[in-house]
Amino acid sequence: MAAPSPRLDPQSRAWTLAAAGLCLLPLLLQLPALLGVGVGVTALLVAAVSWRRPLHAVVRVLLAVILAIVVLWLSHFAIGRDTGCALLAAMLAIKPAETFTLRDARSLLGFALFAPFATFLLDQGPLSLVLSLGGAALALAALLRLAELESGDGLQPLSAWQRFNVVWKLIAIGLPLALAAFWLFPRLATPLWGVPERTMARPGLSDRMSPGEWVDLLTDDTTVLRVQFFGRTPDRSQMYWRGPVLWNFDGRDWTQPSWLRAYPPAPVRRANLVWDYSLEVEPGDSRQLVALDLLNRPPDGTDLSQDHGLFARRSLDALTRWRMQSSPPAAFEASLPPMLRRMALALPAGYNPRSVALGRQWRREVGADDVAVVQRAMSMIRRDFAYTLSVPPLGRDSVDEFLFTQKAGFCEHFSSAFVVLMRAAGIPARVVTGYVGGYWNQLGGYWQVRRSDAHAWAEVWLPNRGWVRMDPTAAVAPDRIYDTLADRASAADSLFGASVPAPVFDVTDWLRHGWNDFALGFDANRQRELLRHLGVNDVDTGKLATLFLLVALGAILWMAWLTARAERERDPVLRAWHRMGRRYARIGLGRAPHETADAWAERVRIARPSLETALRQLSLRFNNWRYAGDRPGREANALIAALRRHRPGTHALHGDSR
Amino acid sequence: MPLGARRTGRRVAARLLAWARPRHPETLPVTFDRRRVYVLPTRFGLFFAVLLLAMWLGALNYNNNPALMLGLLLAGAANTSLLTAHLQLTGLQVSAIDAEPVPAGAPLELRIHARADPGRARRGLRVDSGDSSAVLSLTGGNGQATLALPTHRRGWLDVERLRISTTRPLGLARAWAYVWPDAPLLVYPAPEANGPPLPEGSGANALARLRPSGDDVHHLRSYRRGDARRAIAWKPSARRDTLLVREYEQPMGADVVLDWRQLSGIDYEARIRRLARWIDEAEREGRRYRLDLPGQPPLGPGSGPQQRHACLRALALLPGASGARA
C-alpha cells in the first residue's frame, strides 16, 4: 500500500479545486470585507499560477507566512474565533499550490469541509447554509471523481450530472440516520470548553454609544429578537427592551462601566403587573441580553449587574432562547449610594458649557423640585425639537450644537442631551440603550424586534421613586419610536421599488422563525421538550442514548433494505417466477440457469410425476407471457398470483408415496 | 520492539486472512453473497472519520446546529457509501477464469470473466493477486479483466485467492471479496536459451523435404514467421523489397525423435528445458516429432498446436528431480 499516490488528471483537479472554492466562499463572505476579498483573490491567483506545476516550496511558505501575518494584523493580534476562521481560509487558499496527487486532493477536500463548519461558527443565516451545503455536496462529488481515478476506470468517466445524482442519493439515503442523530443524540447541557469570542465586531448594541454610529443600526431591518407573550401583553409604548446602561460620558462617547457587573442587582419594589414571555435571541457578538423593563429573576445561565443589565454566561454566538418574567418597577433603587450618585452626576469638565449653564439655570429657577426640572426639559424638547436621521456630524460640544443649533436628531442625541441637562441641574441620570416596541407578525403570532428598533433613552433618579424612565425622543416622535406606523413593515423591502405588502415580510420572518425552532435553536432543553410531546418523560442520557441507538438501527436497516431493493429483479413476473424456482430448489428440483421453462417442467415431470400438470401449466403461461409479444396487465397479475400460490412441497410427498 | 509488534501484526493479519471466506478453493462459477463481502475503511476513510468526529464535538460543544447537521449529513452519506461499496460486489458472479499456458518465467495472462445483473453499474472493480492488479468493469452485465501473474516453475500453477475490491463511490471504504478458483493453470517448462540443434530423425519413412537449411540452393520463397534469420537471403530481399528466405533441399528423416533417455549426462531440469526447446524448434521448422518420456507412452509423432501442447504438458508435469531418481 506504500505505492506512490497517482497523479491527478486535469478533470479531477478541476473538480477538487471547484469544491474547495465553493466550500471557502461562505467563509469569505463572513470575514471582514478587505480580508475576505484578499484571501479570495489569493486563492484564485494561486490556483491559476499553479495549474500546471506546483509552486516552489519557498514561495508557498512565504505566502503562508504573509497571509497569516496579514490576518493577525487585521485582527490586532488578538486570537479569536474569527481570527481562527480567517487563518483556516488563508491556508485553504494556498493549499491548491501543492495539490497534485490523489492523496493531496483528498486531504484538501477534507480540510475544505471545515470551511462550512467554520462559517457556521460565525453565521447561521440562510445564505451561509445554502452555500455551505452546496460546497459540501460539491466536495462529495469531487471525492466521487477521485475514487473513479483511483479505480483506474478511465474509459467511461461519469458525467457531472450522474455524479450529482449519485451524491444526492447518498445524502438522501443517509438522511434518516442523520435526522435521528440530530434530534435524539444526547446534547450537552453545558459546554465542555468555552467558545472563543470574535475580535472583529459587527455593528450592534454595545457597551458604547458614539455619535453617528447608530445610523447604520437604525436602518437595518434584521430581526434580533422574537418574543412570544404568555398571558398579558404590554402596550407597545411599554415595550422597552432594556440593554446596556451607560453611565460614563467623556464629552463624546457614552460607555458602560463594567465593574458594576460584580455587584448584586439594586433592590427593586415591583408593581403588581407581571409579563411572562419567551425570547428567541439571534446570535450576536456580545454577551449582553436585553429584557423587558425589569426582570423578576435572571433566567438560568445569566447574571444581573448592579444596574440590572442582563449578561449571559456563555457567548451568544448561536441562537438562544430564554423564558423570562418582568414587571414595571414601583421603586427602582429607592436609596442611591453616594458613590453611584456621584457617578450619575459627573460631567466632563469644559464640554458643552451652554447646556450645563441651562441646566443650572433651571435648577435656580425651580428650586428643590426635581420633577419640575424634568418636566421643563421634556416640554422644551417636545416644543422645539424634531426627529430626523439625517444629522450632520457634530463637533466638540455635541450637546450644545444639538440643543441650540440643530434642534433635530434621533434618540442618540435626545438621550445624551437630556442626561447632560439633568446632571447639570443636579439630578442623577444615565443613558439606557436597548430596543423599543416591536412588530407583530400576524402569521407567526409573535413579536419581532429588529435592529432598527434600537433605541436610547434616559433614566433619572428621583427621591422615593428611584430610577424613572424618561424618553425625550418618544415625546417628539412617538409614532416613529413605538413602531406603530403601518408601513414600517414594508420599508425593509423597498428594494423592489414599490412597497411589498406586509404579509410577504411576515412570511419570510415566519419561515426563518420556523427554521430557528426546527433546527437552529435545538438544544438539550428543546430535546427534552420534544420527547415529552412524544410521551417520554424525564429523559436521562442513558434513555436518550438507547432511543437513539434504536432509531439509528432502524435507519440503517432501512438504508440496507433500500439499497438492496435496488438490485432485485425489476419485473414482478420474473421475480415471482424466480421465487418459485427457489421453492423447487429446496426439494432438489431447482431450475438450472441454462434450462428453459419447458425443459425444466419436463425434468420435474420425470422426477415427480405428481407435480407435472401444475408446473407445466405455469411454465406454459409464463412462456406465453414472456415471449408471446403483448403483455396485458391483468393477465400478468393473475400469473404472478398463481406463481406465488404454487407450492411444490406437499405434492412432492404424495408423488413419492405413489 | 516495533519489529516484534509488526510481526505480531502480520501474524494477526495472516490469521484473519485465513479466516476470511472462502477458506478452500471452490468451483466456478461463484456468486458473491453478502457473507463473503468484507468492508473496512481506507486510510482516507479513517481520516474522514476523525474529521467528522472533530466536527461533531465542536458542534455539540457550541450547540451549533447547522454545523452539527452538516457533520451528520456527511456521516450519513459516508455510511451510505459503505453500503454502496458492499453492493458493488454482492451479486457479482465470477463465471470463469482461463489462461493460455506460458513457459515458466513469462507472465501468465489470467482472464477473469464476471457477470452480474445489468441493473446496477459496477465499474472500476479491481482484481488483485499478489502484486499484480487489473481493472474489471462490467458493461451490460458482463466484464472481463486480464491479470498478469508471474510464473516461476513449470507444472500446475495454483491460483491464489484473487481479491476483487472497490473503493468507490467515495474512496472512504474498501469493499472486497475473495474468489479462490480451483481451476489449476498450466505453466510450460522454460526452454533453454542455447543448445545443440535438433537431433536428426531416423526411420523408414525418410522423405526429402524442403528445409531452410542445408547446402543446395533450391529456390527462394517469401519470409514466414519463425524462419531462422540466417536463412534470409538479404541481397534478393533488397532487390525485391520484400523479405525472402532461401530454401535448400536436404534429405532428412521426417520424424524427429526426442528421447529422454538419449539426453543422459545433463541435469534433470536441463533435460526438460532442452526438450522444450527442441519441441518449439521442431514446430517452427514444421517437422513431425515424437516425444519419448520414461514410464509414459510415446507422444506422437505429429506436429501442430495439439501435439506441442501434449508434449509440453507432459514435460511440465514430469515429477520433480528427486521424485524421478527414486
For residue range A550-567, list pLDDT tens digits in order: 888 888 888 778 766 655
Chain B nearest-CA distance from A592, in A, is 13
Per-residue pLDDT at A548 exceeds 60: yes
The arithmetic mean of pLDDT across residues A49-53, rounded, is 79
Q: Across chain A, what does the average pLDDT equal? A: 81
> Using the beta-carbon criterion (under 8 Å), do B60 and A187 form an inter-chain contact?
yes
**Which residue of A111, A148, A151, A516 is the best one to mutate when testing the B interface, meaning the one whose CB has the most B CBs within 10 A?**
A151
Long-range contacts of A361-366 (CB under 8 A, 24+ apart): A362/A421, A362/A425, A363/A424, A363/A425, A363/A426
Whole-prediction pTM: 0.68
pLDDT at A494: 40
To the nearest whole percent, how much of chain A has pLDDT over 70? 86
For residue A477, CA distances in Å to A236, A237, A386, A387, A446 come to 14, 12, 8, 6, 25
What does the pLDDT average to over A100-122? Answer: 90
Q: What phi, psi does A517 have (nearest 5°)?
A: -60, -45
At A308, the amino acid letter reads: H
pLDDT given for residue B87 in this prediction: 85
pLDDT at A490: 41
Please name the member of A152, A195, A567 whose beta carbon is closest to the beta carbon of B91.
A567
CB pairs under 8 A between A and B: 177
Among residues A22, A17, A225, A254, the alpha carbon closest in space to that of A132 is found at: A22
What the block records as the C-alpha cell of B1 is: 520492539
Report strand pairing: A320-327 vs A275-281. Answer: antiparallel
Structure confidence by residue, pLDDT tens digits, B265-287 = 788 888 888 888 888 888 887 77
CA of residue A223 relative to chain centroid, distance? 13
Judge whether residue A458 has pLDDT over 90. yes
Res A134 pLDDT > 90: yes
Overall average pLDDT of the A55-75 stretch: 83
Of B55, B72, B171, nearest to A117 by CB-CB distance is B55
pLDDT tens, residue by residue, A151-172: 877 666 778 888 898 899 889 8
How far is A46 from chain B, CA to nearest CA, in Å?
25
Q: For residues A574 and A353, which has the higher predicted lDDT (pLDDT)?
A: A353
HEC string of B11-25 equals HHHHHHHHHCCCCCC
Average model confidence (pLDDT) for chain B? 80
Q: Is the pLDDT of residue A498 over 60?
A: no
Helix, strand, coil abundance in chain B, percent, nearest 5: 35, 30, 35
Confidence grade of residue A196 (pLDDT, cut at 50, 70, 90):
low
Tens digits of residue pLDDT in A67-96: 888 888 877 776 777 788 888 898 888 888
| B125-144 residues touching A, CB cutoff 8 A | 125-126, 135, 137, 139
Residue of chain A minimizing CA distance to B76: A174
Lowest mean pLDDT across A306-310, A505-509, B105-109? A505-509
Amino acid A206: pLDDT: 74
Question: Per residue, what are the HEC states of A145-178?
Answer: HHHHHHHCCCCCCCCHHHHHHHHHHHHHHHHHHH
| pLDDT band (50, 70, 90) for residue A489 | very low
The CA distances from residue A14 to A145, A415, A594, in Å, are 10, 58, 48
pLDDT tens, residue by residue, A206-257: 777 876 677 767 777 778 888 999 988 888 888 899 989 999 998 888 988 8
pLDDT higher than threshold 70 for residue A570: no
Which pLDDT score, from 0 to 100, does residue A500 have? 47
**Sheet strands (E) in A437-574:** 439-441, 446-450, 454-462, 466-470
Query: At B269, which amino acid appears?
Result: E
Nearest CA to A410 among A380, A468, A440, A452? A452
Within 8 A of B172 by CB-CB distance, chain A residues are 143
Q: Does the pLDDT at position B200 exceed 70? A: no
Interchain pair A177, B91: CB under 8 A: no
pLDDT value of residue A429: 94
- pLDDT tens digit string along A584-607? 878 777 777 677 888 888 888 888
Q: Where are the domains of chain B?
A: 2-188, 207-325
Mean pLDDT of A636-646: 82
**Residues forming a β-bridge with A387:** A409
Contact A166, A158 (CB under 8 A): yes
* Higher pLDDT, residue A612 or A463: A463
| pLDDT for A108 | 92
Span B142-155, pLDDT tens digits = 888 888 888 888 88
B316 within 8 A of B186, measured Cβ to Cβ: yes
Whether the ipTM is more than 0.85: the answer is no
Q: Give Dmax (Cα) for chain A.
A: 130
Question: CA of B145 to nearest chain A CA: how many angstroms apart?
Answer: 12
Q: Is the minimum CB–CB distance between B66 and chain A shorter than 8 Å?
A: yes
Say yes or no to pLDDT of A503 above 70.
no
The predicted pLDDT at position B51 comes to 93
Q: Of B30, B51, B73, B174, which to mutate for an interface test with A (greatest number of A Cβ within 10 Å)?
A: B73
Residue with more model confidence, A289 or A158: A289
Confidence of residue B215 (pLDDT cuts 50, 70, 90): very low
Least confidently predicted of A128-132, A234-238, A415-419, B203-207: B203-207
Mean pLDDT in residue range B37-56 = 92
Q: Is there a cis peptide before residue B169, judged by omega within 30 degrees of 0?
A: yes
